[in-house]
Chain A
Amino acid sequence: MKSHAEAAAEFIKDGERTDWHDETLWFVRAKRDLAAHGLPEWEQLRDWASEIKNHTLSNISQYLTAFEKNANANGITVHWAADAEEHNRIIHKLIKDNGIEKIVKSKSMLTEECHLNEYLNHHGIATIDTDLGERIVQLRQEPPSHIVLPAIHLKKQDVSDTFHEFLHTEKGNNDPQYLTEAARIHLRDHFVASELAITGVNFAIAETGGFVVCTNEGNADMGAHTAKIHVACMGFEKLIPKAEHLGVFLRLLTRSATGQPITTYSSHFHRPRPGQQMHIVIVDNGRTRQLGRPDFRNSLKCIRCAACFNTCPVYRRSGGHSYHTAVAGPIGSILNPNLDMKANADLPFASTLCGSCSNVCPVKIDIHEQLWKWRQVIVAEGYVGAGKKLSMQGMGFLFSHPNLYRFAGKMGRFFMRIAPFMVNNRLNPWYKQREMPAPPKESFGEWYIKNRKK
């Protein structure tokens, strides 16, 4: 597997595409700004959202128990999954027990996190992703590169080529209207035939035992309304205490995500319709562990709006796939080391710690501070290269000895000597696309002795 830096370098090789990716996402960020700045109470909403999530996480077992009780009373079956494997097994069993053949899925990052598609494929069961962007990447056998805009790394021509190959559309026809219609006809067939629909959950309400799914395409509703079994999958952090709290989150979610005042469809599900089965799979998959890490528990407040992706100057220029995990971007970089520290040790370093992510986050997660803290943990656990360790130890030593520091500086501006990355040669990553600063004759310290210490 390529590290973030390697994959990002690949992505950036196509400069035009990188600029386009950057500008498209910046456009979304600008729309978010416009929407946020239109609400004088924006910062107040963020405070509330953060506090509600904080409170819920602090009392999570109580709210989960209440949710299960109320959901059961509504006729919903609640399942508990300790990890991804169990989540997949539960769904597989529902499919087998009910003799299901046709499955549609509305975009759910949790099922991506659990690799449900691969699991079911492995057992000979095909699922159709019905979110347009998600369907495009599914046809291409790629993972989504963004949690809200899964195919944002693709241009119109790419979509046209993909549809030509799989849906037999006209070759070279890049007209979005034409392509969308083709997708619509294709997906309608699957909706009509579907027997089981899988959806995500944006908010589950302890008080009512119901849940809310937000989509712009209405595909969650189309699936859930036609299939005889509706399976909703949620990480346990999706819980909120009361229905009255929903307004805070619904106002924040889409403004943060796309700059819309609200999603086109904010669908409330409370009970199965007569003859239908409704199931909820509540997943832990490392969340309890994260909840138990005081420095990182805040990351569970995330409502998956992706505002931190759109604002992140690194994400915009490296593309989602460079993060090699289901949830990319800044929030992914603090969630994924919890799932697998070794495999994701590079991610907390894929940031300049500029802090823009923490500022846009509607639930006020201290994202960039958590990135800093993960770096400390990763180094302490030994998941860092020997070369880096050595140069850091060298620096630490040099900077602890003022006389040595001054001597090294005098001997030719020490960075060029001791810091391996600051040397003018082809192996020096700095020098590849940047000139070194011109070393002055004397340091400030030397100047000071001559000019002030008379």
Chain B
Amino acid sequence: MKVGLFIPCYVDQFYPKAAIATLELLEKLGVEVGYPSGQTCCGQPMANSGFSGLTGGCDALFVKNFSSYDYVVCPSGSCVLHLKEHLHAEDEAQAVALRSKIYELTEFLTDVLKVEQLKASFPHRVGLHQSCHGQRGLKISQMTELVAPGFSKPLQLLGMVDGVNMVQLDRMDECCGFGGTFCVAEEAVSAKMGQDRVADHVKNGAEYITSADLSCLMHLEGILKRQGSAVKVLHIAEILNHQ
């Protein structure tokens, strides 16, 4: 099984540690991972702002870089959702085939690799931020609005980590307010949502906030830092890879 690692632009530039953890984790689990060097961005910032007409370059690069792999894995639910729903190509059949091979990291671990144990330890109190695109878009966990049995792929994995103490949040799956360009176009609402989201974690005693989506964490981190809070953010791969 050959897996292509897709590291989205903002992770590449700002959170290389999360990308390294993702790579190491996959390697530890015996996966042959390739990282095509010509990759950039999934195209979501443009598409979600109404400029899906400007994503052709990103799409073409993506198809060129990743078509030869059996799977594509990415540590960002939001980018994965965008690709799954909106990746196009001149040869549309190629894009459609590729769409079905793209996985967010946690769903790849639970659904494809069927991981049942991990050698990891993280003795801390952790709050899980369910990113909306991962949760509602990719359905990596059940949503509080629906009447259906509960499940959560990230929690299933976190349950394999020694010493992790998950905190219960008052609002299990409330959006953090990042929303791509929403965070600047609607600065007031976005910041207020982020502050409220952080407050829920802090109030319930989290030392770390984790998520399968770094974009949300980037937003929450910005707010925590501004508040001078000691609470830190960590991508879930960093916890699953922590010894």
In the bound complex, what is the Cα–Cα distance between A201 and B182 (angstroms)?
36
Q: Does A208 contact B (CB under 8 A)?
A: no
Complex: how many Å from CA A213 to CA B168?
42
* Interface 9-residue window, one of A72-80, A276-284, A289-297, A442-450: A442-450
Q: Which one of A349, A380, A432 contacts B182 once the chains associate, using CB atoms below 8 Å?
A: A349
Q: Is the C-beta of B100 less than 8 angstroms from some C-beta in chain A?
A: no
Q: In the complex, which residues of chain B have a beta carbon less than 8 angstroms from the beta carbon of A444?
A: 7, 11-12, 16, 19-20
Decide yes or no: A351 and B183 within 8 Å by CB, A396-B57, A434-B223, A452-B35 being known contacts.
Answer: no
Specify the chain B residue showing the minimal Cβ separation from A359.
B145
Query: Hey, what's the 0/1 contact readout for A389-428 against B, CB within 8 Å counting as 1?
Result: 1001101111111100100010001110000010000001
B9-21 contact mask (Cβ, 8 Å, vs A): 1 or 0: 1111111110110
Query: A42, B12: Cβ atoms under 8 Å?
Result: no
* Contacting residues of chain A (301-320) with chain B, CB-CB under 8 angstroms: 311, 313-314, 317-318
Select the residue from B40, B46, B137, B226 with max chain A CB neighbours within 10 A.
Answer: B40
- Across chains A and B, the number of contacting residue pairs, with CB separation under 8 Å, is 220
Check B132 for interface membership: any CB of A closer than 8 A.
yes
The answer to whether B164 has its CB under 8 Å from any CB of chain A is no
| Interface 9-residue window, one of A2-10, A107-115, A116-124 | A2-10
Contact string against A for B residues 31-50, beta-carbon threshold 8 Å, 1 for contact and 0 otherwise: 00001011111010111111
Dominant SS among interface residues on chain A: helix
- A36 on interface, CB distance cutoff 8 Å: yes
Option from A5, A372, A388, A409 in Cβ contact (under 8 Å) with B187: A5
- CB pair B61–A400 under 8 Å, yes or no, is yes
Contact B187 A311 (CB under 8 A): no
**A439: interface (CB < 8 Å):** yes
User: Given the known A-B contacts A355-B132, A429-B187, A444-B7, are A437 and B226 also in contact in the complex, defined by CB atoms under 8 Å?
Assistant: no
Question: Given A352-B175, A399-B41, A432-B191, do A8 and B16 touch, yes or no (CB 8 Å)?
Answer: no
Docked CA distance A353–B179 (Å) = 7
**Contact between A350 and B186, CB atoms less than 8 A apart:** yes
Contact, CB under 8 Å: A396 / B132: no
Q: What mask results when residues 430 to 442 of chain A are scored 1 for a CB within 8 Å of chain B, else 0?
A: 1011111101101
| A354 & B49 in contact (Cβ 8 Å cutoff) | no
Q: Does B113 make an interface contact (CB < 8 A)?
A: no
CB of B231 to closest CB in A, whole Å: 13
B119 within 8 A of A: no
| Stretch in B151-159, B201-209, B214-222 with 4+ CB within 8 Å of A | B214-222
CB pair A43–B148 under 8 Å, yes or no, is: yes
> In the complex, what distance in Å separates the CA atom of A415 from the CA atom of B9?
10
- Give the segment of B89-97, B103-111, B121-129, B192-200 that binds chain A: B192-200
A312's nearest neighbour on chain B, judged by CB, is B175
- State the CA gap A433–B221 with chains docked (Å): 11
The interface size of chain A toward B, counting residues with CB under 8 Å, comes to 77
Q: Say whether A8 contacts B189, CB under 8 Å.
A: yes
* Minimal beta-carbon separation of B48 from chain A (angstroms): 7
Contact of B189 with A39 in the complex, beta carbons under 8 Å: no
Contact status A437-B52, CB under 8 Å: no
Contact A12–B183 (Cβ < 8 Å): no
Residues of B with C-beta under 8 A to A392: 45-46, 49, 51, 54
Q: Is the CB of A436 within 8 A of B222?
A: yes
Which of B41, B56, B145, B178 has the most chain A CB within a 10 Å cutoff? B145
Does A40 have its Cβ within 8 Å of any Cβ on chain B? yes
B112 CB-CB contact with A under 8 Å: no
Q: A37 within 8 Å of B by Cβ? A: yes
Interface residues of B in 149-193 (CB under 8 A from A): 171, 173-175, 177-193
For residue B144, give the distance in angstroms from its CB to the closest CB of chain A: 6
B136 within 8 A of A: yes
Q: Does chain A have a CB within 8 A of B28? A: no
Q: Closest approach, in angstroms, between the C-beta of B147 and any C-beta of chain A?
A: 4
The answer to whether B55 has its CB under 8 Å from any CB of chain A is yes
Residues in A with CB closer than 8 Å to B37 are: 402, 445, 448-449
Judge if B118 is at the interface, Cβ distance under 8 Å. Answer: no
Q: Tell me if B120 counts as interface (CB < 8 A to partner A).
A: no
Query: Is the pair A379, B175 in contact by a Cβ cutoff of 8 Å?
Result: no
Kindly state the separation between the CA atoms of A436 and B23 in the bound complex, as whole angstroms: 25
Residues of B within 8 A of A4 (CB): 186
Whether the Cβ atoms of A414 and B13 lie closer than 8 Å is yes
- 11 pairs, A vs B, C-beta closer than 8 Å: A352-B182, A359-B145, A376-B52, A384-B50, A393-B51, A401-B40, A402-B37, A402-B40, A434-B222, A434-B223, A446-B16
Smallest CB-CB A-B distances: 4 pairs? A400-B57, A434-B222, A352-B179, A375-B50
* B-binding residues in A (CB < 8 A): 4-5, 8-9, 12, 18, 22, 26, 33, 36-37, 39-40, 42-43, 311, 313-314, 317-318, 348-356, 358-360, 372, 375-376, 378-380, 384, 388-389, 392-393, 395-402, 405, 409, 413-415, 421, 428-430, 432-437, 439-440, 442-449, 452
